[in-house]
Amino acid sequence: MNKLPSLQALRGIAVLGVVAFHSLSIEQKYSGGDILLPDLLRVGQSGVDLFFVISGFVMVTVTEGRFERSSEIMWFLWGRITRIHPTYWFYFLLTAAVFLVKPNWVNSSQGHQAQLISSFLLLPSNQLPLVMVAWSLIHELWFYLAFTILLRFHERFLFPSLLVWGAIVTILNLLVTVADLSATARIALHPYSLEFIIGALTGISLSKEHAPKLSARNAVLTIVFVLSIGFPIIYGFDILKQEGILRAGVIGTLYGFLVFSVVTLEQFHKFAAPKSLQFIGDISYTVYLSHVLVLSAIGRLWLIASPAPNSLLDNVLACIMMLAVVVGYGWIGYRMVEQPILQVSHRLRARWFENGLCPRSCHNQ
């Protein structure tokens, strides 16, 4: 399956949702008490759930026909690890520099403490990483590791393996309190895996020629349902406060239907993703990693230089500035950091894995 602009647009929506959610706390902390942003924006935190569903979808589509071959497995691992770590390390080092100079500016929710080694390597820990939002990357890396194991078997086993994986996660979450387990076990058994699995199953259903397909009309109706009924259910029943099977099952299923429907419409040539959202999707990883730092800087500037502290005017100006600077820096950071890293990664992957010239070191792994 070729690159889908609709998925990039959904990534853009996901990251904007996360930015909106964190903007709520910035406004509450620095506005002086008057609030402009609606509480409904709390739904934006589910952008991370959408990322997980999209990730599962993409893993299936990019590995189609690449199962049971060691060189292809190395191709997959190289792509996933270099997609996550090098760009993340840039923001880790940037945050670490702030942490060393002004420790009270970082990780306030955890008493300004951090485990630097586990944060750097994105290993499971009892604390959030130094780059707070990188907790989701730890889950992503677990998804990739588990999916790599599935790549070693024939592709026809992928569908039943995903069902078994989902069943194990569900049953164990019903039988034990996962939060009481070790940090590694919590990641391996976390219900977020269900969202990745839902995305992967969505990818399988759209990649199979004889699988049932939605009509364009039903795809539109599904999108309308998710937006007009699904989101109110998430907000109204406070599902986002749940950390168990309920959240992953409800939100993952809704986003699975959303991805399925949007991609279906694109395949029917009934939908063209807005270029603006595709652009945000392209820079979404940089925006995701950097937006907390950017928002915090805007918040501190707001506190010092508010032009109208007793009215909502300063809120309006601050919110416009937050969005503009987050996206503006996202574009600069993407062009100067993330994109060059990806270009080097793709060249090396093409040389080592796609042309059959895997270096001796990778054969030893």
Cβ neighbours of residue 155 closer than 8 Å, sequence gap 6 or more: 64, 65, 67, 68
Q: Report the pLDDT value the prediction gives residue 2, as an integer from 0 to 100.
A: 56
| Cα(201)–Cα(199) distance, integer angstroms | 5
Query: pLDDT tens for residues 295-318?
Result: 989 998 888 877 666 778 889 999
Looking at the chain, the whole-number percentage of residues with pLDDT higher than 70 is 92
Q: Is the pTM of this model over 0.85?
A: yes
Q: What ranges make up the beta strands (E) of 253-311? A: none
DSSP string, 219-265: HHHHHHHIIIIIHHHHHHTTGGG--SHHHHHHHHHHHHHHHHHHHHH
| Cα(217)–Cα(196) distance, integer angstroms | 27
Q: How far is CA 151 from CA 287, 325, 328, in A?
A: 31, 41, 38
Cβ atoms of 251 and 46 within 8 Å: the answer is yes
User: Of 74, 54, 211, which is closest to residue 151 (Cα–Cα)?
Assistant: 74
- Tokens 């501190």, located at residue: 300
State in Å, rounded, how far the first CA of the chain is from the last one: 29
Q: Does residue 362 register a pLDDT over 70? A: no
| Cα(318)–Cα(257) distance, integer angstroms | 35
Q: Residue 4 is encoded by which pair of tokens?
A: 């889908």
Which amino acid would we find at residue 255?
Answer: Y
Going by pLDDT thresholds of 50, 70 and 90, the confidence category of residue 355 is low
Mean of pLDDT values over 67-72: 86
Q: How does DSSP classify residue 338? A: I
Query: pLDDT tens for residues 237-267?
Result: 999 987 789 999 999 999 999 999 999 999 8
Residue 83: how many other CB atoms lie within 10 Å:
17
Q: Report the pLDDT value the prediction gives residue 361, as an integer from 0 to 100.
A: 37
Q: How far is CA 5 from CA 47, 55, 70, 274, 275, in A?
A: 18, 15, 30, 9, 9
Which amino acid would we find at residue 153?
Answer: F
Q: State the average pLDDT for the chain.
A: 89
| Cα(357)–Cα(359) distance, integer angstroms | 6
| Cα(360)–Cα(365) distance, integer angstroms | 9
Looking at the chain, the whole-number percentage of residues with pLDDT higher than 90 is 67
Q: Report the pLDDT value the prediction gives residue 364, as an integer from 0 to 100.
A: 37
Query: pLDDT tens for residues 106-164?
Result: 766 665 567 889 999 999 998 889 999 999 999 999 999 999 999 999 999 999 999 99
Cβ atoms of 76 and 354 within 8 Å: the answer is no
| Cα(51)–Cα(11) distance, integer angstroms | 7
DSSP string, 82-150: HHHHHHHHHHHHHHHHHHHH-GGGS-GGGTT---HHHHHHT---SS--SSGGGHHHHHHHHHHHHHHHH
